[in-house]
Amino acid sequence: MKWMASPAMVGMLLLLTAGASAAEQHAASHGPAHVDLWKLANFVLFAGVAVYLLRKPAGAFFRSRTEEIQRAIREAAAFQEQAEARCAEIEQRLAGVSEEIENLRRQAAREAAAEQERFEQQMREDVRKIRAEAEQEIEAMVNSARQRLRAEAAELAVALAAEQIRQRLTPEDEDHWIRVMVEDLSRRKPGVG
């Protein structure tokens, strides 16, 4: 709040300065002892008038300044309370963070163990499937080898039997068997197999 001088105050100040100037001139004519006394009186009068005139504006100024300072103190106290509350909240969060980290570690360990178990189960299942497929493939190969072996054995048996027959069969036996077959074919009716 600014102080504005009224015309009456300005006039009073001019009168005081004029009176002080006159007192100084009077004191200068009477000697040094009177000068100090007049200067002191002039100062007391000036100070009294200044206090009287400035009392209301200065009081208002100091009251408003005091209110501003008190408001600033209240705001600073409120800010400090907020800061302390936030600090407590952050400390609480930090305390909770270590617990949360430990929970995350336990959860990660459980998930890793579960994943390991799933992996091992999948591996066992894959091994079982591979083993079953291998056994089927081996059995198929064994069956195929048996069939080839039987086929080769049959071919070999036929070849051996044919060879033995050739060795034992004389030209007379061949003629005899040809006649038997011809007679057998002639007895059958045409178109009957």
Is residue 156 situated within a structural domain? Answer: yes
The answer as to whether 99 is a domain residue is: no
Work out the pLDDT band at 8, boundaries 50, 70, 90: low
DSSP letter at 3 equals -
Domain that holds residue 171: 137-181
Is the residue at 150 inside a domain? yes
- Is 149 domain-assigned? yes
What mean pLDDT is predicted for residues 142-163? 86
Q: Which tens digit of pLDDT belongs to each residue from 42-97?
A: 888 888 888 888 788 877 888 888 999 999 999 999 999 999 999 888 888 877 78
pTM tops 0.85, yes or no: no
Tokens of 109: 């360990």
The size of the chain, in residues, is: 193
Average model confidence (pLDDT) across the chain: 81
| Residue 188, Ramachandran bin (φ over 0: left; ψ between -120 and 50: alpha; else beta) | beta
* pLDDT of the residue at 19: 59
> Is 142 a member of any domain?
yes
48 is a domain residue: no
d(CA 125, CA 118): 10
65 and 7 in contact (C-beta within 8 Å)? no
Q: Is 141 inside any structural domain?
A: yes
Res 185 pLDDT > 80: yes
Q: Give yes or no for a contact between 30 and 38, defined as CB atoms under 8 angstroms apart.
A: no
Q: How far from each other are the two terminal CA atoms of the chain, in whole angstroms?
A: 141
Q: Is residue 159 part of a domain?
A: yes
> How many structural domains is the chain composed of?
1
Whole-angstrom distance, CA of residue 181 vs CA of residue 101:
100
Q: Which two tokens stand for residue 17?
A: 């300065």
